[in-house]
Structure formats: C-alpha cells, structure tokens
Structure 1
C-alpha cells in the first residue's frame, strides 16, 4: 500500500481533471434510458477521490470538469432543441450548449470548492456528514436559482431499487442524500484500505453503517403510504404526434385540429380525455368558439376534455401557457361560458428561451433562437386551484413544472390526481423524453398519487402511486392511450410536511460536520 500512497501523490492534476470529466460523464448512465443506478453511486465516490489531498483551486477545477462531464453527457438533448428546432447553425448551437453546460457545471465546481476549503482534512465522520449534505444543498440551489434547472438529481437514478423508499419521506432529495451518503461510505472504505490503516474499529464502523443503510431502506420499502379507494376514473390521453415545425405554422392549423378531433372520437367512452401541452395552436379567446363546440360534444358523451392551449385574457397583452377544461367538468358545467376557477390553469414555471427570453430587450432578435414562436409567455399567479374534470380534482403541471418537487407537492395536496402535459418534441429522439418520464415517475412515488401524463410525441403514460408505469404509448406516432386510475386514501410524509424536515436535517449535518472539523482536539 505504501507504493500506492506514493503513486497517488505523483498523479498529475491534469490527469485528475480528466478522471473527474470521465467520472461526471459516467454519472448520466444512472438515469433513463440506461438505468444503471450503480453509476450514480460510484460517480460521486470517484469525485471524492479526485478531491482528496488537492488544493482549493484544483478542487474548483475538478468539480468544474466533473460538472462538464455530467451535464455534457446527461443533457445533450439541449443541443437538439437549439439546433434542430431553434433555427440555429451547428457551430452556434454547439457554442450555446457549451455555455449552458459550463454555467450549470459551476454548481458541482462550487460544491467541490467549499468542501475542499472548509473540510479538506476531515475525518471519515465529518466527510460522511458534510459531502452528502453539500451535494443535496447544491441540487436544491440548482433547482431554484434563475428559475432553476431541476434535472439529473442523483435520486432519480434509483426509481427501480430499494433507495426509492426514501422518496415518500423527503422527495427525490432524500433519495439523493442517501445515495451520496452511500457513495461517501464507499470512498471512505476504499480510502481506509488504500491508506493501510490498522484501525479495525473504523473499518467495522464503516461497513456496519453501509449495511445498516440498506437495511433501513429495505424496511422502509414495506410501508404502504396510500391505498386505492373505490372511486375510479377512466382517462384517455391523445398523442397527436404533430411535428414541431408544423405546430405554429398557420398553414397547418386545420390539419392539427382535425387530427385531435379524429383521435378524440376513439376516446369518448372514457370519463376524461386529455390533449397535450399547446395541442391547439390558436390562443384563447380566438379558439373559444371551437372549444364551445368541443365542450358541447363532450357533454353529449358525458366526457370532460382537458387541453393545453395558449391563453390571452381580456384587456391583457400577454399570453399564458395554460390548461383548459370543458365538457363535464363539474364546475357547474360552465367553463365554456368563460368561467376560470377550476376551468383553467396558467403555467407558473416557464422555460427560459422556450417560453420567455431572459434579458429580452438585449437578446430578442439577435439570432433566431432568441425569437422562437410563442416565446413571450408570462408566468401565471401562485397558489392556483386544481382543475376540475368529471367532478375530480387534477393537480396540473405543464411540461417542465413536473420537475419541481415542492411545486408538485403543494399542488397535489388537495387533488385526486396529478396531471402533467408536455410537448417533448423539443427533445427529438434523444435521451430527454425518457429522463422527463422518469422525473414524472418520482412525483407519483413522492405523493402516493396517480400521475397522468399526456404528450405530443411521447412518452404518454399513466404512472401508479408506486412510481411504476401502468400503460405507455409508443413514441413518435399517433395514439390514444386509455387506462383507469383510482383516488388514493392516505398521505405520504412528503406530501404532509414538505421540505422543512429535510432542510433541518441538512443544516444539522452540515453544522455537525463543521463542529467536528473545528473543535480543538485534546
């Protein structure tokens, strides 16, 4: 082992940067469509190894390289969105994607910097307290700052294994915390043998802690948080498969409308029919007469229809990305007359550049990507009520909103089901749509409620309260997907108490680590 110690000291920082880059790239294999969750455990352990005994400036660069690998591989669909649908040349799309990855990579870079600066010579106990808590804190920051990028949280990699049991307790972030805790344990065990330490109590403590973590996870998996009631609903999701370049072209409006009308005829035996985000490319109120006709048809068949549509309110110049319910809604059946409460939902969390342009006065018109169709939406008000359809309450989440755990937790408290609609055409045939679906699976698991997901090109699905996919439509083809969902009885801990217990735990772990690091040794 002495030879290994000397070898480690001689490793060039540049080689460590490359190892960190590779380690970050491996990270994305833990997520859909690869689902190799072991990669999401070993990757942070490798980052810790790279940070070991490095200077503060080196730690920042190591974290930056790790982040570039992580987001360069894990969010490569950003290039597809910018190049294929953003009317941007290959070199400019590469440049914009590179800048995006570099900015997002600052989160692991800063996390590595703070860990190295304040906890460089920490004990195993301190490392186990600090590194996992710092990781999750920076995940939270990344999901919030500048409207947030809540993607590739490490917890998502564990949708199919026993660590998923922590999701109903503290959301995906609780799973992230446990996952990185295990990563840190693996690093500590490796470091123990690597440094040839003759302290069997330390070795035994690390191994026992690792085993105990899996025992707790296994035990938590036995808890049943919610159970189905006899109240059931049959839903049909219409997947129109409308090409992105056609969606906002006036020449195709009639064809798009005919597609949804034709497919909906196959679904009129269901209680609720759902069209995806922005299904009808004619904003309300211009499309109001059409929806009056659809509402009349739906009522005649005892059906409620929920659809995505842009909305411009009277005496307003701004547009909202919205969900609109007509037909047998349960709101005194009066949505077609212009009622709003329970009939319409305005999207709160908008996608930068896709739905609005940051620093619009400076950027609008510079290149085609900053001037996309329908990229002038404004966010809807906070604390909106669930949509009503056939007398049931639906917690709405349009596209990107399903990736915000706290938002969905708050919206779903007083709802029977979670409804998410999306237009994942922007992702093309990349890994993006399956990552998005995986995120929706976690929202079901966290809340113990059924998630109904309707998309334009895929993946349209019904997800049960255990996070498992019950029915799914093939991607990139027209489809009507039908299934039954039940109202659930019971409530998960995450739904009941939200983020605060987990936030308190993170503060305690960080403070405890700092205390152990700074206390005077006898």
Structure 2
C-alpha cells in the first residue's frame, strides 16, 4: 500500500518533476537504463484518478522534468556563443523547455480523455510510441531523449534492428508496466494467479528475446576493411569564423593529417572543418592528401555556395579517390537557419550567429563513394532522425557522420548526441565513422559498440579500420512508419472495445 500522502493531488504534482528527470538519468552519460522502465509507469500512475486539467498539468510538469534536466544545455549556445545576457539566455532556455513539455501535457490529456479506461498494457505503450513519433515530426522535429536510446547496452538492444528506437521505447514502457502490475497486491485466486504468471512470463520473455536477437547477424562483411584517419581539430567556436584565425585553422588540420602519415585510405575531417568554400579549399585538400598515396581520399564538411544568391549549404565535400557531394537536409532552427527571419534578424545577437543562413539540400537518400563502397552521409543533427537515417543507409555499406558539438561546451549534450549516433549504427547494422571538431570522434561497429574514440576537447587523430557491410535490418527496410500505424490501430481497437462495453451497459 502507498503512503496516504502520495494520494494527495499536490504531492503528485510535485512528484511529476523528478519522475520526468528519471528519463535523463537513464540516458548518457548516466546510463541507468532500468530507470527507463520506471519513468513511464510513474507518469501513468500520476495520471490515475485525476481530471483533464490535472492530467494536462502533471503531464506538463513531467515534461519539464524531462527536458529541464535533459536539454537545458541549449543555454550554453545561447549565452556563450549567442552572446545573450544570462537573464535572456535563461528565459529563452526556459521557453524552450516549457514548450517541449507541452507535448507531455498533450500526452497526459489524451490518456485521460480517451484511453484511461482501456487496457493499459496495450494502449499505454502504443500512445508512448506515437507521442515520441509526434515529437520527432512536429515543427521539423526534436527526436531527443527518446526512451529507447537508454537500451543501447541493455538486454533490449537486440530488438533495435527489428523495431528501431521507437519500438524499443514501446517495449520499455510495456516491460515497466508489466513489472508494476506484478508488484501490485491482489487476491490469491486461481484466476489472478494465472494472470500474474502470464505477466511474469511476458516480462521475462521480452528481454530474453532481446538477448537472443543480439546474436542475429543482419548484415554481412562487404569487401576489404578500410583504413580510416579521423581528424579532430578542436577549434574554439569563437575562432571558427574569425578571419584572423583562418591561417591557423588550416595549418591545424594539415599538421594533424600529416601525423597520420600514409596509413589511411581515407581522411575524414569534421563538419565545416575549414572556414572556406570548396573552391577555396581545393588546394589545401590536395596538400593534405599528398603524403597519403595516389589512391587515398578525403571527405570534409564545408560550407558551399547555393544557387540562391547569398545563401549557403552545410555540405560534405570529397577530394582524391572519394567521390560525391552532399548538402545537409535536416537543418537546426536558429543554429543553421532562422525561422521568421525577416522578423527576428537583428533583434539580438543570437539571431545573427555566423553561418545561420543555410538552406537545406534535396539529395535524400544520397550517397558518397570510396573504394567501391557506398557511404551514407549524415551531418550533425541529422543522425538523430531514425527514419531519415534508415532511408539514407539503404544500399550503403557504412555510415559517416560529421559534427561540431562545440556549441554545447562541457555539457551532457554532446554525450547524448554520441549515443544517438551509436543507436543509428545498431538500427542499420552498419559500422559508423564519426568525425567531430572537439569530440566525440569515434569508430563504431555494426552493433553500435565503440571500437575506438578520441577524448573530448583535444586536438588529435584517430587511425583505425572499418569493415563495410551489406544487407538490411528489418527496421532499415521499413523505417518507423509501420510501427506508428500499428500503434494507431491498437489504440483504435482499444477505443472500439471501450465503446462496445459502454454500449452494452
């Protein structure tokens, strides 16, 4: 039995904030994945025996707990790099957190209004999956702090190539609810004992099946391993677009590439590595390749001029034996473009950040090529989109993501971003090379496990091999859409059953 105080509505309001923060603790860098089973159950408990108004409030407070603890690192980019005063930066960060929390308010209201009297073991995980899908889509999407990301290294990881991150979020919510139901006191009747046995069996079966699925090889090696050289320049964000620092930045990348010698087949530089356009950087890229051999290639992030006057793409450019060009499709609002630009430009320094006039590319799915392999390119934030990555990875042999996480300093944001990248490798059963400006630069295998990595905030190079692979995972072939449709059907089935029961009475 719960203490009487926990039935007090005000106490439940207060408990919503720390309950939401458990999701952040389940993710990097804390990695307390069992908490991802607990958090959805706590939200469901908070929504019991309350009206629509309280469901909205508790859902919103739960969301404030999630995003206040999990993404308040945006303050770093607004204050330190956008030069907004602390009060303004704090207010904008609060607005961001409070706005995202409205999605959990909607979550709570939908449950209380439409699904409270349905079978929670079916409708609660389905609704959770759909709300995460809505978050990933609405207003260009923010697929961050997804529950499934907690299970990179849990027994549920084997489900990831089958169901993707959203499906594993649903399994996490379901398993937590099964355990909660098992712990509830009940009468010792034969019927209830059978129900408890069924719940226990399912609660054990889901992670056990995940462990068995971990042994499944969804893809096979393709060709010979590639020798890669990844360069982490560690250029301070305030120096990146300063013309006075241009020569030093160029020399930094040339010197670091020189340290790799003639070992790598392919050099990889991070997002917008040089403050130059491709036509200006051509000679520098050839210099970097000069000691790597005639069959070597180089891929780097650069800003490239678009066909629209005065506008730019955030691009991946190739040199040497590497071929292709890719323009980033999923741009970051305010960082790479300014919504309602005519209204917001000039109001505060944050809306006038350097290189915040990018326009999206249209090449999707798109590929780069090197040494007979097809490379699926992902620039920074794009790696957060599971469906986007799955489409990009089709007919590819490995994933390449470049990033510049220096916007977020020493916060937990870059660590969360890194585990999101690992999840994409696991979903597609593709190895990944990740080149970043100041960390985390790494080589990740097709199971999402880190082969080697560089420490953050150091100028360094990483040399290692990557084995390309061919074949497809179930999730890579379907993406998340069939799962979302299945969840909609499950919820409608539950609503239909509820209507029939009400009509019968």
Which residue matches 1:335? none
Q: Deviations over 1:48-89 (max 9, x none)?
A: 111111111101111100000001001121111211211111
C-alpha distance in 1 between matches for 2:327 and 2:309: 14
Which residue matches 1:179? 172
Which residue matches 2:299? 306
C-alpha distance in 1 between matches for 2:231 and 2:286: 19
**Quick one: which of 170, 193, 197 aligns to 1:200?**
193
> Are 1:248 and 2:235 matched, yes or no?
no
Task: Please state whether the residue corresponding to 1:345 is helix, strand or coil.
Answer: strand
State the Cα distance separating 1:232 from its structure 2 match. Answer: 1.2
> Are 1:12 and 2:5 matched, yes or no?
no
Task: Please state whether the residue corresponding to 2:468 is helix, strand or coil.
Answer: strand
C-alpha distance in 1 between matches for 2:440 and 2:498: 48
- Whether the 8 Å contact between 1:189 and 1:203 is mirrored in structure 2 is yes
Task: Please state whether the residue corresponding to 1:471 is helix, strand or coil.
Answer: strand
Which residue matches 2:121? 128
- Whether the 8 Å contact between 2:166 and 2:480 is mirrored in structure 1 is no
Which residue matches 1:107? 103
Task: Please state whether the residue corresponding to 1:155 is helix, strand or coil.
Answer: helix
CA RMSD after TM alignment: 1.9
C-alpha distance in 2 between matches for 1:93 and 1:408: 32
Change in CA separation of 1:277 and 1:35 when aligned onto 2, cut-off 3 Å: same
Which residue matches 1:275? 269
**Quick one: which of 76, 80, 83 aligns to 1:80?**
76
State the Cα distance separating 1:238 from its structure 2 match. Answer: 0.1
State the Cα distance separating 1:106 from its structure 2 match. Answer: 1.1
State the Cα distance separating 1:173 from its structure 2 match. Answer: 0.8
- Whether the 8 Å contact between 1:458 and 1:476 is mirrored in structure 2 is yes
> Are 1:287 and 2:290 matched, yes or no?
no
Task: Please state whether the residue corresponding to 1:95 is helix, strand or coil.
Answer: helix
Q: Deviations over 1:414-465 (max 9, x none)?
A: 2111000000101101111111110011111011110100000000001000
**Quick one: which of 465, 475, 500 aligns to 1:494?**
475
- Whether the 8 Å contact between 1:237 and 1:480 is mirrored in structure 2 is yes
> Are 1:91 and 2:87 matched, yes or no?
yes
- Whether the 8 Å contact between 2:329 and 2:364 is mirrored in structure 1 is no
> Are 1:435 and 2:416 matched, yes or no?
yes
Change in CA separation of 1:197 and 1:154 when aligned onto 2, cut-off 3 Å: farther
> Are 1:410 and 2:391 matched, yes or no?
yes
Q: Deviations over 1:247-287 (max 9, x none)?
A: 01111000000000111112232000000001001223343
- Whether the 8 Å contact between 1:320 and 1:347 is mirrored in structure 2 is yes
State the Cα distance separating 1:411 from its structure 2 match. Answer: 0.8
- Whether the 8 Å contact between 2:21 and 2:70 is mirrored in structure 1 is yes
Q: Aligned pair count?
A: 500
C-alpha distance in 2 between matches for 1:438 and 1:142: 19
Q: TM-score, normalised by structure 2?
A: 0.95
C-alpha distance in 2 between matches for 1:376 and 1:140: 28
Q: Aligned ranges for residues 343-382 of structure 1 at < 5 Å? A: 344-382=325-363
- Whether the 8 Å contact between 1:345 and 1:396 is mirrored in structure 2 is yes
Task: Please state whether the residue corresponding to 2:378 is helix, strand or coil.
Answer: strand
Q: TM-score, normalised by structure 1?
A: 0.92
C-alpha distance in 2 between matches for 1:446 and 1:516: 34
- Note the residue ranges of structure 2 that are not aligned, 5 or more in a row: none
- Whether the 8 Å contact between 1:64 and 1:106 is mirrored in structure 2 is yes
**Quick one: which of 396, 402, 420 aligns to 2:377?**
396
State the Cα distance separating 1:294 from its structure 2 match. Answer: 4.7
C-alpha distance in 2 between matches for 1:196 and 1:255: 74
Task: Please state whether the residue corresponding to 1:287 is helix, strand or coil.
Answer: helix
Which residue matches 1:154? 147
